[in-house]
Structure 1
């Protein structure tokens, strides 16, 4: 629900704007968190446009806003331009709401913080640092570069996962089609032979009979298992367990670790370079890690720094970050150039991810083809064996 409000700041200035919340009570609570004293609030008839704001939309918006601000265009005018040019109606609505809040007296970061589903904690933290330091144009440039690198990294991982999923799915569908629809035709033919069928043939026919008789129950069982797994993954314990297993997988685990290191280094390096305090930066990085195990490691690193320790020490104990990365971070801490060192690590691991993706794809191609050949070949041989035996029998009788 969307609520229009009029409120007073601590200095007595009256501001107007809109806030999203589940109900009016939640809306008032959110405004109080922002140290606003509500004068009037009511649900607005202005409905939120349907649709989803994609990460690609955010990347383009950041780059365009960076260019406009760097060119000296006032922020409100720049947002007005971007609102009119937004391809996504949902994102156009968000930009318009931000512009309205800024005109009502809020800062850019505060206005963006009201849309947590669109602008992440990392995004808002960097914008706030840019506002505080008076270098919003520079921060927007860094933010744009960071988001573009993150999108490229995500695309590389998706390409690595997509090929085996598509080919494996196609192989499974072909196998099910053969077992459910093709094998029964051969079964009717074989029943007329009046002889005992080879073991391989009986095995395939048994599997076909089972699938035809219980396919609905199999589908329900698989659907139920998938739903239960999805629910389990959403729990704290389940999420951590799945993330831990993912990092320990023989091939994909190595790739996921490299992606995590690249993301950690790029994000923290960009935040520190933008003037965000390291404790706040580590908290933001942990929340956006995307892996519970790595999130715990980063929070331990944050606690270590809070107690006067170094960043490198808890990272070394985690057994996730390689020795080279830990040593480079240690050198960066000692020389006072941690931000530059983290960016260098990120650049190196971006290349490592690229190499790993290419190697993974080239390795999976022959493996998948061999598995498909073995499965389909097994079915074909099982179906033709009785025919060969009947041919041999007929030739001996002749």
Structure 2
């Protein structure tokens, strides 16, 4: 069924626009009138290569990203509507009409068209891998097979919201230290590049012996003024080399091991990975996905080669007949408490609940450790900035004191 873009006016004269599917432009206009709005302009939204709609949507919104919160809300709405007995096509129409993101509208319209053509929901979603992850598609497929699609979608929306909440909390905690670091670098650069040269030029003209701190400051300022472009090139080159090495299999594995081994930060990162492992696996198992395929999806979710290798080894052991807890016990990155909780869950038949508890525990630990680390980091950063600025000030004042002593 074709998809049309429209511009319409409501009873109060307010202008609105969006997408609607119908057999013809006339049918599209009639559907709009039935909803209580008056169509001003209706035209077919043709598909470009790559699956994007052309048409009158502003260029700046064509490639607008779909936020995790928007996808979670759409998933939640779909779950509620399906649970209320609304047919799938009607649910998608409601989501298309309610969402304000043009990119999400287009994708949902294409999913609806695919279902109208006879596809199931999971294959229709799989055509948009940039929006719907393998985990999302696999859970929907399991939900369709088990007849519990609304429950699976509800759990999916919970998972996305919990991840986004944790990410937002960590970002909020780290925002101030990052801002302080940026401001500190700008202040030091400004002092060395503009203020210090104007003052120290007086000292160099005197042709007298200067204190070692002042000599070092003048040398640093002169180097920055003359060779700032070399500094920038070196920084850019180092970043490019790091990115290139990190993209190799060996470099990525080494970097991931370093990240896990870093003091304080490595502990937080480790806990985030454990929480993501537990939350994702619990969601997949509760959605009806079998353990081996679920581990494969969890592997793709975790952005760490060390953990991915551990999951690969665990999957091989499980195929050989071992339990999940037994297969993970060979790995150093899964703490004994995690293995014990998984073993209890396997014996009691409540593995999903235990994995959820593991995730909740490590999410809280990651957040509390981040807060403790940043609360310690803030005064340390202020002290370092004070020492650096104090060094610059003292290096400038020492020759001035000597000059005043000579005048006396």
TM-score, normalised via structure 2 length? 0.83
Q: Which residue of 2 is the match for residue 129 of structure 1? A: 142
Q: Give the match for residue 376 of structure 1.
A: 389
- 2:118 counterpart (105, 127, 140): 105
Q: For 1:1-398, what aligned pairs fall within 5 Å after superposition?
A: 47=53, 49-395=62-408
Instruction: Map Cα deviations across residues 232-254 of structure 1 (whole Å, 9 max, x no partner).
Output: 22222222221111111101100
The equivalent of 1:13 in structure 2 is none
Paired residue secondary structure (2:263):
coil
Give 1:111 shift: 0.4
User: 2:23 maps to what in 1?
Assistant: none
8 A Cα contact 1:282 1:302, kept in partner: yes
Greater Cα offset, 376-385 or 235-244: 235-244
Q: Distance in 2 between matches of 1:315 and 1:173?
A: 47
- Deviations 1:317-340, CA, capped at 9 Å, x for gaps: 322121111111111122222111
Task: Report the CA distance shift for 1:241/1:87 in structure 2 as closer, same or farther (over 3 A).
Answer: farther
Range that drifts further, 229-238 or 168-177: 229-238
Aligned to 1:33: none
Counterpart of 2:45? none
Q: Distance in 2 between matches of 1:388 and 1:198?
A: 11
Query: 2:206 is paired with a residue of what secondary structure?
Result: coil
Residue by residue over 1:332-358, the C-alpha shift from the partner in whole angstroms, topping out at 9 and shown as x without a partner, is 122222111111111222221221121
- Match of 1:317, SS state, is coil
Q: CA deviation at 1:43?
A: 5.7
Distance 1:127 1:46, change over 3 A: closer
Work out whether residues 52 and 106 of structure 2, in 8 Å CA contact, stay in contact via their aligned partners in 1: no
Quick one: distance in 1 between partners of 2:174 and 2:305?
Answer: 21
Q: Over residues 203-227 of structure 1, what are the superposed CA-to-partner deviations in whole Å (9 max), with x where a residue is unaligned?
A: 0100111111110121122112212
**Distance in 1 of aligned mates of 2:331 and 2:186:** 42
Q: Distance in 1 between the 2:277 and 2:260 partners?
A: 15
Distance 2:327 2:318 in 1: 10
Change in 2 beyond 3 A, CA 1:45/1:199: closer
CA distance in 2, matches of 1:121, 1:375: 49
Q: Is the 8 A contact 1:153 1:259 kept in 2?
A: no
In the alignment, the residues of structure 1 paired with residue 404 and residue 254 of structure 2 have an alpha-carbon distance, to the nearest angstrom, of: 56
Q: CA deviation at 1:44?
A: 8.9
Q: Equivalents in 1 of 2:315, 2:127: separation in Å?
A: 26
Q: How much does 1:167 deviate?
A: 1.3
Partner of 1:31: none
Moved more, 152-161 or 68-77: 152-161
| Cα distance between partner residues in 1 of 2:51 and 2:140 | 30
Task: Specify the SS of the correspondent of 1:51.
Answer: coil
Q: Which residue of 1 aligns with 2:41?
A: none
Unpaired stretches in structure 2, ≥5 consecutive residues = 1-47, 55-61
Please give the alpha-carbon distance, in whole angstroms, between the structure 2 residues aligned to 1:44 and 1:268. 32
